[in-house]
């Protein structure tokens, strides 16, 4: 997580945010892949990082970052739709498919992130769990689907929480 992450997602606490990420990734890890292995391993660093750069540099150590961006920061970045809630950047080896680095950015200008299971009071609130579960799918290399109701559909409406769980299309 970037140093500014938790302040920009207030009133959610650091514990709330870390638990939301943990739950979202566990949702994907619980998918039965037909063997005894978990499909991946994710570990959160206990500390934060001062970097806010979402980038991959060959032949250098890279860290995957999660950044909450203000509306102004979001608008200054290339290819960042101002209406998008989040953007996951994935770098991979085109020959092997190996994922080399992944960074996740949240657009705090598109709505106020909250835990909408507890209830969201207005249309500008966005469920963080819903968003992170969807973005975790991208982190795993999945694209969007046109199957209605799937977690990996392209849109989220307001305070919806349905993308916290996976549908058959997502699991397949």
Q: Average of pLDDT values for 49-78? A: 92
Q: Is the pLDDT of residue 123 over 80?
A: no
pLDDT at 99: 85
Confidence class for position 37, pLDDT limits 50, 70, 90 = low
> Under DSSP, is residue 72 helix (H, G, I), strand (E, B) or coil?
helix
> Which residue from 18, 114, 152, 9 is spatially nearest to 69, judged by alpha carbons?
9
Q: Is the pLDDT of residue 18 over 70?
A: yes
pLDDT at 122: 76
Q: Is the pLDDT of residue 98 over 80?
A: yes
Q: Is the pLDDT of residue 27 over 70?
A: yes
Beta-carbon contacts of 73 under 8 Å, excluding residues fewer than 6 positions away, are: none
Q: Average of pLDDT values for 46-73? A: 91
pLDDT at 13: 93
Angle at 77 between CA 76 and CA 81, to 5 degrees: 100
Which H or E run contains 133? helix 128-139
Q: Average of pLDDT values for 65-88? A: 93
Confidence class for position 39, pLDDT limits 50, 70, 90 = low
Higher pLDDT, 157 or 143: 143
d(CA 69, CA 116): 20
pLDDT more than 90, % of the chain: 58
Q: Is the pLDDT of residue 158 over 80?
A: no
> Under DSSP, is residue 138 helix (H, G, I), strand (E, B) or coil?
helix
Confidence class for position 114, pLDDT limits 50, 70, 90 = very high
How far is CA 90 from its chain centroid? 12
Longest dimension (CA), the chain: 47
């Amino acid at each position: 997580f970037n140093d500014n992450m938790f302040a920009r997602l207030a009133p959610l606490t650091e514990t709330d945010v870390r638990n939301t990420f943990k739950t979202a990734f566990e949702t994907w890890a619980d998918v039965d892949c037909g063997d005894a292995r978990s499909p991946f391993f994710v570990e959160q660093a206990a500390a934060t990082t001062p970097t806010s750069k979402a980038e991959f540099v060959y032949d250098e150590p890279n860290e995957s970052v999660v950044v909450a961006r203000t509306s102004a920061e979001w608008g200054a970045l290339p290819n960042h739709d101002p209406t998008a809630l989040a953007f996951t950047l994935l770098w991979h080896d085109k020959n092997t498919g190996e994922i080399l680095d992944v960074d996740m950015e949240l657009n705090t200008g598109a709505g106020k992130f909250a835990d909408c299971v507890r209830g969201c009071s207005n249309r500008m609130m966005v469920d963080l769990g819903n968003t992170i579960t969807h973005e975790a799918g991208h982190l795993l290399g999945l694209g969007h689907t046109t199957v209605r109701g799937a977690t990996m559909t392209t849109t989220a409406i307001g305070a919806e929480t349905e993308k916290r769980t996976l549908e058959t299309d997502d699991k397949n």
